[in-house]
Amino acid sequence: MFKIYPNTRESLRLKASGIFHKYSVPRWMLFTHDITAVFITFLLAYLLRFNLVIQDTTWNEVIVHGLITLAVYTVSMIGFRSYSGLIRHTTLTDVTLVFAAASSATIVLLILILAEDAFNTSRLYRIPMSVVLIHYFLITVYLFVMRLSVKLLFRFTTSSMKINVRKVLIYGAGEMGFVVKRVLMSDPRGDFYVAGFIDDNRMLQGKKINGIQTFGPDILSSPFITKHNIKTLILAIRNFPPVRKGDVIRIAIDNNLEILETPAIEKWLHGHLELKQLQKVKLEDLLGREPIRLDMELIRKGLSKKNILVTGAAGSIGSEIVRQLSRFAVQRIILVNQAETPSFHLENELKRSFSHVKFKIHLADITNSDKMERIFQQYHPDIVFHAAAYKHVPLMEDNPHEALRVNVGGTRTLVELSVKYGVRKFVMISSDKSVNPTNIMGASKRLCEMMIQTKSMMNGISTQFVITRFGNVLGSNGSVIPLFKKQIEEGVPVTVTHPEITRYFMTIPEACQLVLEAGFIGKGGEIFVFDMGKPVKIEDLAKNMIRLSGLEPDRDIKIEYTGLRPGEKLYEEILSCNEEMSSTQHEKIKIAKVEKTDYRKEVLKAIIALKDIYDMSEQQIIELFEELVPEYKLSKENSNGHFLNKISIEEKVG
């Protein structure tokens, strides 16, 4: 007998579990059950009131009184939506709604009884007060017991060990964590089992919430995760400090956990969280950056009622600058971009999300001086954000003519037109590759910086020229992030050029916010350098992306090293050997202290070369860059194409 019992118990569990997985009682059915229970318990209340013998009344009266009670309870239950919760996950909130609905209905019935007594209405409609009170006790107890019984039965079925269950930890034992737990447990597939909550609040640690243990963050360790076979960590905290969030994600990745996060409450469907809305954490969360605090008043004053021109407006940086600008009361935004399809998509986004902003898109090549002059002549922009450029290092190594024509020639056109049409401020987006450049792209950007510095030093120039210099942005077109993502999706090896290669990274919004503030801090002639945090090893980046995809590096997806490409550095820099940094009013924005050098001869030579650019060979273009940008030739000679010296930011801060 006792030997059979465990098998019988497990068999019952499996049968009940199958029912719970197959069926979920819809709300209308629960509502029908509840109002039916109201009527039946009312009849039982009558029988109890008269000791199971009805002598002083008729069944006609009982039925009428029951229908009146049913009508009042129906309205009350609909009003409080006491039937809306999932029975198997009944909570204190659900029980409270049932209590509130029953209590409200009883109060209404008692008021009706008093009113009928006062107006001496027909006995047919006068319900005995004692019956109402007995019924209130019966229906309240029944609805409570029924819901709790179903919940206990569900716990009984889910307490058994399932083969394919996914054990999860929920980081956050607050209101959001509880909501996530309910959503997981209500999944009809039954794939999830909540093994515990994690919370930084010591007051919650060691306690049980709805029967589930709450732990401290120290359980995110290999022994605990292995012992309990944890597969997934779900972040369920509203305002998770970015640095702390980044630390937790890194620990989870190191322990091979799948990491999901809960979207902001305002993004929940119709105010309710659904399982499909749980999303994988973003790669930028690993950076753990605190939100950038902007001087909104400075930017607002600078942009108010201004005509603003953005080149490269449909690119990764340009389009985000446009989005940031749309938050302010600008007069008009003129978007210049050469590529048709990205411009089309940007236009649709602006119409959909920023319909309050006046904007005009122009398909134009910034090297076409006639076209660009027509745009300047038509709009007379007050501010220019110059983000258009060819930026891919390998392509520019193979196409040095285009680096000179577009990056240098396009910048020269915009600079001259800005001076001619009285642009107040010109902000150029440069690159950390312009520092001690070892490639054509970096050399072209450095030559652009020299051109702008020279123009800002000339007498009679009212335009304030500002240069912003930063490194890679996460997810920009053509960066390693989309490439790695595509390789992971296709299941092919992820290609990294060198195991020691590092890069500085920022998110696109971060970079563009700093561009805006730097633009209005600047008075003209400065090169602003952004604090990009610590450099990131590309190998680590690749491994983290693989793990965030739920795969294991070297087991599911291999990493292949392809060797440094021509002109590629192992370590990027943000300052040259001859530059130092000084602080600004913004902690993340520094000024590169550079000698005020007049590069008029170099700029003039570049302009002359632009006129006969295609009469020159590729080698002649490269030699021209070496002549005009001395750091380019020196860096190539010292590094043989691969710059290895690493310069710390802290050492350069003056």
> pLDDT tens digit string along 546-599?
888 878 888 889 999 998 887 778 887 766 656 677 788 888 888 887 777 788
Alpha-carbon distances, residue 47 vs 42, 124, 489 (angstroms): 9, 17, 69
| DSSP track, 422-438 | T-SEEEEE--GGGSS--
Write out 253-316 in H/E/C secondary structure: HHCCCEEEECCCHHHCECCECCHHHCEECCHHHHHCCCCCCCCHHHHHHHHCCCEEEEECCCCH
pLDDT-derived band at 650 (thresholds 50, 70, 90) equals very low
CA 477, chain centre distance (Å): 18
Query: Please, is 371 exposed, middle or buried when counting C-beta atoms within 10 Å of its C-beta (0-12, 13-18, 19+)?
Result: middle
Whether pLDDT at 530 is above 50? yes
Q: State yes or no: is 433 an active-site residue.
A: yes
Kindly list the structural domains of the chain, giving each domain's residue range(s) and its CATH number in brackets, ordered by start: 4-158 (no CATH), 166-281 (3.40.50.720), 301-652 (3.40.50.720)
pLDDT-derived band at 647 (thresholds 50, 70, 90) equals very low
Instruction: Please give the Cα distance from 618 to 566 (Å, whole number).
Output: 15
pTM of the model: 0.69
pLDDT-derived band at 508 (thresholds 50, 70, 90) equals confident
pLDDT, tens digit (0-9, with 9 covering 90-100), for 50-88? 776 666 567 788 888 889 899 999 999 998 888 877 676
Which listed residue (433, 445, 636, 652) is catalytic?
433
With residue 619 as reference, give the H or E element that holds it.
Answer: helix 618-628
Instruction: Please give the Cα distance from 430 to 410 (Å, whole number).
Output: 13
pLDDT-derived band at 121 (thresholds 50, 70, 90) equals low
Q: How many residues would you count in the chain? A: 654
3-state secondary structure of 595: coil
Per-residue model confidence (pLDDT) at position 449: 93
pLDDT-derived band at 649 (thresholds 50, 70, 90) equals very low
Do the Cβ atoms of 197 and 169 come closer than 8 Å? yes
For the beta carbon of residue 471, count every other beta carbon within 10 angstroms: 22
Whether pLDDT at 362 is above 80? yes
Instruction: Please give the Cα distance from 479 to 630 (Å, whole number).
Output: 28
CA neighbor of 518 nearest in space, from 443, 427, 622 = 427
Q: What tokens does 593 get?
A: 């202290």
